Each structure stands twice: as structure tokens, then as C-alpha cells.
């Protein structure tokens, strides 16, 4: 019985050793997996922190862009208001200039019939401002004897004519028109020849 018992003890010790060794190997493997898991978690945590930092940085940059865009839109709005104001003022000045031109033109017409000396003074005055007027892109529509252009002329009287070459020509200008930078601001009021049939 003694040998049998001794043999059983050795088997039991061998089994315990094998069990302990297997348990230690399992624990070592588990510890290694936990170590790797902690490393992965730490890496993920760093990535999340970095992503959060990137998101905050992008949010701040986006806010800066939005603020700059709002400022730019406000500046554009102010510029558009200023442009509209300047355009309205320009229209008023052009109307005033048209009134002065029409008065001067009427005085020239009258002086041409009544006082030629006064006419030459008016022509000199008109010539003196002619360069400034042209540099502003302003052209008067006041020529008789040209073909009627309905974009430039408002025909308020038709005069019968027998010569075919004079048909639809401006016979007389009653009130001059004005072109400013290629845009007709005021049509000339004219009498035009019409061929008699």
C-alpha cells in the first residue's frame, strides 16, 4: 500500500504542477492580453483626445470664417447702399445738367434769331464746359439733319417733304437729349420729315 500511495501522490503532484503551470500560462496570457488591451485603450483615448482637440480647433476656425463672412457681407451691404446713394445723386446731377443744357440751348436758339453777338458768347460758354462734359461721358443729342433714331429721338411733329432722301430725317430739335456713358438719359424732342405720298 505504501508504494501505491507514494505513486498516487506523485501523480497527484504532477497533475497539480501541470494544473498550476497551465493556470500560470493562462494567467500570463490573460495578463498579456490585458496589457495589450490597455495599450489599445490608451491609444484610442489619445485618438479621442486628439479628435476632440481637432474638432475644437476646426470649430474655432469655422467660427472665425463665419465672423469674417458676416463682416464681409455687412461691408458689401454698406457698399451697395453707398453705390445706390451715389447713383441717386448722379441722377439728380444729370437732371440738373439737362435742365441747364436745355435752358442754354433755348437761349442760343433765341439769340441766333435776335442777337448774334450774344449767340457767340453763349457758344463760347458752351465750348468752355464741353471738355469737362465729354470727359464725364456726356453727349448731347441736338443735331438736325440726321436720320431719326427712336432710341435717341422722340418725334413730336411730322413735317411733309417731297424729297425721298429727307424722309425720316430730323427737321428741327425742340429740346436736346442726353447720353451719359452710353445710356440714353433723355431723348431729344424733335420734328421729323415724312415723305408725302
- In sequence order, the β-bridge partners of residue 69 are none
pTM over 0.85: no
pLDDT at residue 153, rounded to an integer: 97
What b/e string do you get for 118-133 counting C-beta neighbours within 10 Å, with b at 16 or more?
Answer: ebeebeeeeeeeeeeb
Give the tens place of pLDDT for each residue, 70-122. Answer: 999 999 999 999 999 999 998 898 888 888 888 888 888 888 888 888 888 88
- CATH says 137-197 is which class? mainly beta
Amino acid at each position: 500500500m505504501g508504494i501505491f500511495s507514494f505513486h498516487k501522490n506523485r501523480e497527484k503532484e504532477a497533475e497539480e504542477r501541470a494544473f498550476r503551470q497551465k493556470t500560470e500560462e493562462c494567467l500570463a496570457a490573460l495578463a498579456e492580453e490585458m496589457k495589450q488591451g490597455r495599450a489599445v485603450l490608451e491609444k484610442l483615448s489619445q485618438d479621442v483626445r486628439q479628435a476632440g482637440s481637432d474638432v475644437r480647433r476646426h470649430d474655432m476656425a469655422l467660427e472665425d470664417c463665419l465672423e469674417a463672412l458676416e463682416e464681409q457681407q455687412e461691408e458689401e451691404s454698406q457698399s451697395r447702399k453707398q453705390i445706390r446713394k451715389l447713383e441717386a445723386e448722379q441722377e439728380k446731377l444729370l437732371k440738373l445738367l439737362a435742365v441747364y443744357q436745355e435752358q442754354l440751348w433755348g437761349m442760343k436758339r433765341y439769340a441766333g434769331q435776335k442777337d448774334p453777338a450774344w449767340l457767340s458768347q453763349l457758344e463760347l460758354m458752351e465750348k468752355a464746359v464741353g471738355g469737362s462734359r465729354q470727359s464725364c461721358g456726356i453727349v448731347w443729342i441736338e443735331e438736325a439733319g440726321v436720320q431719326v433714331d427712336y432710341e435717341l429721338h422722340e418725334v413730336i411733329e411730322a413735317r411733309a417733304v417731297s424729297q425721298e432722301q429727307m424722309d425720316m430725317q430730323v427737321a428741327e430739335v425742340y429740346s436736346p437729349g442726353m447720353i451719359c456713358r452710353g445710356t440714353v438719359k433723355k431723348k431729344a424732342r424733335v420734328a421729323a420729315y415724312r415723305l408725302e405720298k
